[in-house]
Structure 1
Amino acid sequence: MANSSEGGELNVTFNGTSPPCCRDNATNINLTFYEQSPDFYVVLPVIYSVICAVGLTGNTAVIYVILKAPKMKTVTNMFILNLAIADDLFTLVLPINIAEHLLHYWPFGEILCKVILSIDHYNIFSSIYFLTVMSIDRYLVVLATVRSKRMPHRTYRAARIISFGIWCLVTLIVSPFFAFANVYKDDLDITSCGLNFPRPERFWFKASRIYTLILGFAIPVSTICILYTMMLYNLRNMHLNSNTKALDKAKKKVTIMVFIVLAVCLFCWTPFHLATIVALTTDLPQTPAVIGISYFITSLSYANSCLNPFLYAFLDDSFQKSFRKMLECRPA
């Protein structure tokens, strides 16, 4: 079993996603931590439960509105739909992580261990990949508007095919975590769910963290930053050097919404990936403060799954109107 305490890496437990370190020795760390901070034993499940309830309700509402309202079937909303599905899937399994947290052991068997760890990692990769695709789409729309060109291939059907391709890509990326996920017993004979790496364990542990950092953050975020820089450059050029009309109000609103959703995602996930770098490059003692910060970083990454629906509701007029219309129709 990969032992993340080797070499002094940050081996703080993160229920489910194992950020920015693996879940090994989870129970021992949790028991020691809760002896020193007993209130945290209650506070963390409450935070996770709120995230679960709000995220499940909000994302289910987004899925329902986009699928039922004819006017909501747009290219951007197809990507938002898949983003909501990914968030909903994660919030559905969050109660299992809460149960493990309260019980201090894994009672659900090996198959569910593999499924839960895989879904946790789906959450890491799918959110940023769909946001990357949304950013590419926004860039192409802005570019076409600046050049006064149409986009005949930008259709709802094409968006569905691209979304399916993203799910296939994420499945491929997550498959190693499914293979390595396993149920094991520690020195105290307590059952845990974690990543069971082959020897040399320390090498595989570091490789898995670098793998997640590069594919789940560095590449997509770099792509997004380049796209938005080019987008701003084109908009500035359009304003200064062209008589082309400015983007219409609707396109501006969609672009702003995508940008804000992206900014919130980066705000929630950047500490997660920065903590990975810290875990790989420094030796941190397992003090209550370090463990508490680690749990806060995890909770922040989890919170992203329940924030997106509120962003759509506040920023997208068509979503608000469709949602209100469906609420009015339900009593009838």
Structure 2
Amino acid sequence: MENVSVHSAELPACNDSVDFYSPRSGNRTDLNCTHTSGYYDLYVILPVIYSIICAVGLTGNTAVIYVILKAPKMKTVTNMFILNLAIADDLFTLVLPISIAEHLLSYWPFGEVLCKVILSIDHYNIFSSIYFLTVMSIDRYLVVLATVRSKRMPYRTYRAAKIISFCVWILVILIVIPFTVFAGVYVNPFDGRKRCGLSLPNPETLWFRTSRIYTLILGFAIPVSTICILYTMMLYRLRNMRLNSNAKALDKAKKKVTIMVFIVLAVCLFCWTPFHLSTIVALTTDLKTTPLLIGLSYFITSLSYANSCLNPFLYAFLDDSFRKAFKKMLECRPA
């Protein structure tokens, strides 16, 4: 069995001849420890960045969950999907301190079971955001379509949104199962320390390429293509609706929700597209490892992590009901 660490961000010790990988991706290239100061900078900077993402993401997403569950007016179909998106992001930021600890210790002290759990949650985060946003895009398209045709949507209920969200959770869990199966603790042959990563069978190169293509297709190509088609059709419908003087325009509330979903989607793609583009680069080129490439790799990973803490700020800026609910939550009223 060959071992590929895909979650942790430990940096190599000097004079070790090791494989460098990009966190989350399993990208491996030969690395010679000839830039000690650069590695030390990453060793110091990465925990700071991850800690900020963890603190902001955990606080913001917990606030979103609390507001939606406690405020009666927040129980809408769109907010049900936002709730599940926040839960997925909260779950990831909740375990991020373990990744920080592993990075600082440069070995995995937490055992086999927790290794599988952490890697599963990490990979779940890769798929969950885009899948819940795909569902939200489908919902927005159906709302626009129904509005253009002046039809009601009796099937679009809060209960139906719960069922769909549950199905998304099950789907993503099934997608992540292969990573859970191959996740485990192994001893790094270069320094003798325990690591948490994917143990891929021989031929490792074939399995590595398969795992990258698997993630690229299911975690990016299919959902993003679906979203692009939906928004293209949506814009076409809206354009025709404006040309038709007899058609009713979308009311202000529906426009705001549609714009909010679109912006949340745009931010998600901004954070995740470099990660998936790096997959294409890893599959088609053989780049020489340099300090610049290493720094870029960790920047791409940090950018994908950052997506887990940005959505609450978008809701606060773009949705009046969220903003008002946040303010009420922060108010200290006497009993």
Q: What is the TM-score when the length of structure 1 is the normalising length?
A: 0.92
8 Å contact 1:113–1:193 — kept in the other structure?
Answer: yes
For residue 13 of structure 1, what is the aligned residue in structure 2?
21
8 Å contact 2:62–2:90 — kept in the other structure?
Answer: yes
Deviation at 1:39, TM superposition (A): 2.0
Deviations 1:94-137 (A, max 9, x none): 11111111111111111111000000011000000000000000
Q: Are 1:147 and 2:149 matched, yes or no?
A: yes
Q: Which amino acid aligns with 1:307?
A: L
Q: Are 1:60 and 2:68 matched, yes or no?
A: no
Q: Which amino acid aligns with 1:109?
A: G
Deviations 1:232-258 (A, max 9, x none): 000000010241221000000000000
**For 1:277 and 1:145, how far apart are their aligned partners in 2?**
40
Deviates more, 1:275-284 or 1:132-141: 275-284
Which runs of 5 or more structure 2 residues have no equivalent in the other structure? 6-18
Q: How has the CA–CA distance of structure 1 residues 83 and 322 changed in structure 2, closer, same or farther, with 3 Å as cutoff?
A: same
Q: Are 1:2 and 2:35 matched, yes or no?
A: no
For residue 115 of structure 1, what is the aligned residue in structure 2?
117
Aligned sequence identity (%): 80
RMSD over equivalenced CA pairs, Å:
1.9
Deviation at 1:323, TM superposition (A): 1.8
For residue 278 of structure 2, what is the aligned residue in structure 1?
275
Deviation at 1:328, TM superposition (A): 2.7
Q: How has the CA–CA distance of structure 1 residues 60 and 34 changed in structure 2, closer, same or farther, with 3 Å as cutoff?
A: farther
Deviates more, 1:297-306 or 1:322-331: 322-331
For residue 15 of structure 2, what is the aligned residue in structure 1?
none
Tell which has more relative contact order, 1 or 2 (C-alpha 8 A, sep 6+): 1
8 Å contact 2:56–2:309 — kept in the other structure?
Answer: yes
Deviation at 1:201, TM superposition (A): 1.3
Q: Which amino acid aligns with 1:85?
A: I
Which runs of 5 or more structure 1 residues have no equivalent in the other structure? 6-10
Q: How has the CA–CA distance of structure 1 residues 34 and 63 changed in structure 2, closer, same or farther, with 3 Å as cutoff?
A: farther
**For 2:119 and 2:61, how far apart are their aligned partners in 1?**
21
**For 1:267 and 1:158, how far apart are their aligned partners in 2?**
30
For residue 231 of structure 1, what is the aligned residue in structure 2?
234
* Superposition map of 1:36-115 within 5 A: 36-115=38-117
Equivalent residue in structure 1 for 2:300, among 272, 275, 297: 297
**For 1:224 and 1:312, how far apart are their aligned partners in 2?**
20
Q: How has the CA–CA distance of structure 1 residues 310 and 161 changed in structure 2, closer, same or farther, with 3 Å as cutoff?
A: same
Q: How has the CA–CA distance of structure 1 residues 268 and 206 changed in structure 2, closer, same or farther, with 3 Å as cutoff?
A: same
For residue 139 of structure 2, what is the aligned residue in structure 1?
137
**For 1:33 and 1:313, how far apart are their aligned partners in 2?**
43
Aligned pair count reads 321
Deviation at 1:52, TM superposition (A): 0.3
Q: What is the TM-score when the length of structure 2 is the normalising length?
A: 0.92
**For 2:133 and 2:84, how far apart are their aligned partners in 1?**
10
8 Å contact 2:3–2:197 — kept in the other structure?
Answer: no
Deviation at 1:13, TM superposition (A): 3.0
